[in-house]
Amino acid sequence: MTQCRGLKAQVVLLTAAGIFTMMPCFAGAKVPLRSGLKTRVSQFYAAYVSQDWPALLELTAPFVRECDSAEDLRLGWTEDGLVKVLSWRIVDIRYDESYLGEELKVECSGKIYRPEAGALVVTSQLDQKGEEKPQRGDHFLHWVLIEGTWFAVGPE
């Protein structure tokens, strides 16, 4: 009799788990405008590889870049030496709610941005710094959706 109760309890738990994962409010949130995000990631890498700092600045979230120039961005990214990205590919795109509900105020303008969604994009990159041997590793970059457009925020 005790074995039957244990079996019934397991069946109930598994059934409940199955129902909850099929319900939208309990299932993992999906990344909206995913194809647009992939396009923006490609643009981001194209700008970085070609060292097009103005284009890279435009792909960066307004609340991060608004007070900076393309030259400020270049100096920040290259202060430890320029890392050349030899190749890259998207490994994973995960929903990221860390910026949701935030009001991100820009110090120099006072403008407030409210991200609509977030994503963590994981890429596998082959990088080379100076004359060192190229190394492959994963790179994690947060993205936010603002007014229907994806913007890079910064590495994890």
Read off the CATH number of the domain in which 69 is found.
3.10.450.50
**For residues 2 and 90, which has the higher predicted lDDT (pLDDT)?**
90
pLDDT in tens, 27-54: 457 999 999 999 999 999 999 999 999 9
In terms of residue numbers, what domain contains 76? 32-155
Q: What is the mean pLDDT of the chain?
A: 83
Is residue 127 within a helix (H) or strand (E), and if so which, with residue range?
strand 117-129
Question: Is 84 contained in some domain?
Answer: yes
Contact indicator for 135, 125 with CB cutoff of 8 Å: no
Q: What are phi and psi of 152, to 5 degrees?
A: -75, 140
Question: Is 14 contained in some domain?
Answer: no
Question: Is 8 contained in some domain?
Answer: no
In the predicted model, is pLDDT for residue 9 greater than 90? Answer: no
Task: Give the model's pLDDT for residue 28.
Answer: 57
Question: Is 127 contained in some domain?
Answer: yes
Task: Give the model's pLDDT for residue 155.
Answer: 62
**For residues 135 and 19, which has the higher predicted lDDT (pLDDT)?**
135
User: Residue written as tokens 């925020």?
Assistant: 153
Count of residues in the chain: 156
Task: Give the model's pLDDT for residue 134.
Answer: 96
The first and second tokens of residue 76, run together, are 């920040």
- Alpha-carbon distance of 156 to 92, in angstroms, equals 14
pLDDT in tens, 124-138: 999 998 889 999 999
Question: Is 50 contained in some domain?
Answer: yes
Average pLDDT over residues 11-37: 57
Question: Is 119 contained in some domain?
Answer: yes
Among 119, 106, 112, residue whose Cα is nearest residue 152: 119
The first and second tokens of residue 144, run together, are 């936010």
Question: Is 11 contained in some domain?
Answer: no
**For residues 47 and 77, which has the higher predicted lDDT (pLDDT)?**
47
Give 76's pLDDT tier (boundaries 50, 70, 90): confident
In the predicted model, is pLDDT for residue 113 greater than 70? Answer: yes
